[in-house]
């Protein structure tokens, strides 16, 4: 290779605070591209990139095509400064409505969890619309329980955002923190092995509770976030409010939830308080 493009990419992505997952994905996409084209960087043309992406689009999903396109654009335009101006339109990703639980199903899910800590984790995740990665990274210092809000630190896109704390969870959270004697600088939830929870552990809790509750939908931790957004809109919250609470960059992303809702305007509050 003419340059050590992998190191250059890693350095620039870290400077821009890309997530470790994005860095790993981009490097994988670029490595695969070069293994297929069998050319060095200085020999690559727009035609090579276009043909490669066209081949992917014929076999893979739109998301896969877009990720590969973004990775290659990042390398050639942002790292190498080549004005390739790839005129390849993003593949259309088939629209698919998110799986959403009804309010009754959410209540049944909670009732199916006997472990008090696990139930509190799942309730907090739903009541605030948190991603599972955001939940397991919460620290006590991020919570302003009396004021009814908290902060997600360095969430998706490495951005901080505010989330609401349900009135019905305030005392439970206070008692939990006091009982566990958790320092304000420590993680709010840790496993019995004194370690931070893994995403997989939370997914297993959700799956097990879903089966026990007799919920036939294919649910995951993210289903609670989808349900949170849908129930907020059903309760009358505006799209702008929901977009802000979810941390969506684009309002178009939030619009997805309108397909499952009927709105009547009321003041914003956590959907947990209306169960």
CATH of the domain at 197: 1.10.443.10
Assign 271 a pLDDT band (cuts: 50, 70, 90).
confident
User: Of 139, 153, 156, 170, which residue is the catalytic one?
Assistant: 156
Rounded alpha-carbon distances, angstroms, from residue 39 to 11, 42, 48, 52: 23, 8, 9, 13
pLDDT band of 155, cuts 50, 70, 90: low
Residues 72, 186: one domain? no
| pLDDT, position 201 | 94
Among 56-60, 143-147, 155-159, the range scoring the smallest mean pLDDT is: 155-159
Same domain, 164 and 253: yes
pLDDT of residue 65: 79
- Quote the number of domains for the chain: 2
Q: What is the mean pLDDT of residues 134-162?
A: 87
Does 222 qualify as catalytic in the annotation? yes
Residue at which a domain ends, from 45, 79, 113: 79
Catalytic residue among 18, 26, 197, 257: 257
Residues 85-94: tens digit of each pLDDT? 665 555 555 5
Do 157 and 196 belong together in one domain? yes
Given a cut of 80, is residue 37 above it in pLDDT? yes
In a domain, 92, yes or no: no
231 is catalytic: no
59 and 157 both lie in a single domain = no
The whole-number pLDDT of residue 149 equals 94
**Alpha carbons 107 and 209: distance in angstroms, whole number:** 11
CA 223 – CA 80 distance, rounded (Å): 40
**pLDDT above 90: residue 101:** yes
Tell me whether residue 259 is one of the annotated catalytic residues.
Answer: no
| Token pair of 1 as six digits | 């290779």
Residue 231's contacts (CB-CB under 8 Å, 6 or more residues apart) are 103, 106, 271, 274
Exposure string of 185-223, with b = 16+ CB inside 10 Å and e = fewer, is eebbbeeeeeeebeeeebeebbeebbeebebeeebbbeb
Mean pLDDT of 158-182: 90
Q: Is 16 a catalytic residue?
A: no
Residue after which a domain boundary falls, among 23, 45, 79? 79
* In the predicted structure, residue 253 carries a pLDDT above the cut 60: yes
Domain that holds residue 35: 5-79
Average pLDDT, the chain: 83
Q: Check if 248 is active-site.
A: yes
The CATH number covering residue 9 comes to 1.10.150.130
Average pLDDT score over residue span 166-195: 90
Model confidence at 194: pLDDT above 80? yes
- CA dist 75 and 70 (Å) reads 9
Higher local confidence (pLDDT), 106 or 1 = 106
The verdict on 48 and 166 lying in the same domain is no
pLDDT range class, residue 159, cuts 50, 70, 90 = confident
Residue 240 pLDDT exceeds 80: no
pLDDT greater than 80 at residue 226: yes
DSSP letter, residue 204: H
- The residue from 108, 212, 222, 269 that is catalytic is 222
pLDDT of residue 258: 61
Domain contains 94: no
Clarify whether 6 is annotated catalytic.
no
Q: What is the pLDDT of residue 80?
A: 84
108 and 54 in a common domain:
no
- Residues 253, 93: contact at Cβ < 8 Å? no
User: For residue 227, what are its two tokens?
Assistant: 């349900």
Active-site residue, selected from the candidate residues 118, 225, 226, 231? 225
- Residue 84 located in a structural domain: no
Is it the case that residue 114 has pLDDT exceeding 90? yes
What CA–CA distance (Å, rounded) separates 33 from 74? 13
Asked whether residue 132 falls in the same domain as residue 201, the answer is yes
Q: Are residues 29 and 164 in the same domain?
A: no
Contact 62, 93 (CB under 8 A): yes
Determine the pLDDT at residue 93.
55
Catalytic residue selected from 131, 161, 226, 231: 131
In a domain, 56, yes or no: yes
Q: Is the pLDDT of residue 267 over 50?
A: no
Asked whether the predicted pLDDT for residue 264 surpasses 80, the reply is no
Confidence of residue 270 (pLDDT cuts 50, 70, 90): confident
Q: What is the pLDDT of residue 227?
A: 92
What per-residue confidence (pLDDT) applies to 132? 92
pLDDT of 160 reads 82
251 belongs to a structural domain? yes
């Amino acid at each position: 290779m003419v340059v050590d493009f992998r190191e250059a990419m890693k350095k620039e992505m870290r400077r821009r605070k890309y997530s470790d997952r994005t860095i790993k994905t981009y490097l994988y996409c670029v490595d695969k591209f070069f293994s297929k084209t069998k050319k060095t960087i200085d020999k690559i043309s727009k035609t090579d990139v276009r043909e490669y992406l066209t081949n992917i689009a014929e076999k893979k999903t739109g998301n896969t095509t877009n990720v590969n396109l973004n990775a290659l654009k990042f390398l050639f335009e942002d790292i190498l400064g080549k004005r390739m101006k790839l005129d390849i339109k993003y593949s259309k990703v088939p629209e698919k409505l998110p799986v959403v639980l009804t309010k009754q199903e959410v209540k049944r899910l909670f009732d199916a969890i006997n472990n008090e800590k696990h139930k509190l984790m799942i309730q907090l995740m739903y009541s605030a619309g948190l991603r599972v990665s955001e939940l397991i990274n919460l620290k006590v210092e991020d919570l302003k329980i009396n004021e009814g809000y908290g902060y997600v630190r360095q969430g998706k896109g490495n951005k901080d955002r505010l989330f609401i704390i349900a009135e019905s969870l305030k005392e439970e959270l206070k008692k939990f923190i006091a009982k566990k004697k958790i320092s304000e600088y420590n993680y709010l939830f840790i496993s019995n092995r004194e370690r931070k929870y893994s995403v997989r552990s939370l997914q297993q809790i959700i799956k097990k509770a879903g089966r026990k509750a007799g919920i036939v939908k294919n649910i995951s931790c993210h289903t609670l976030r989808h349900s949170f957004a849908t129930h907020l809109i059903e309760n009358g919250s505006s799209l702008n409010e929901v977009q802000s609470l979810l941390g969506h960059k684009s309002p178009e992303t939030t619009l997805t939830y309108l397909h499952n809702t009927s709105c009547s305007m009321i003041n914003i509050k956590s959907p947990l308080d209306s169960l």
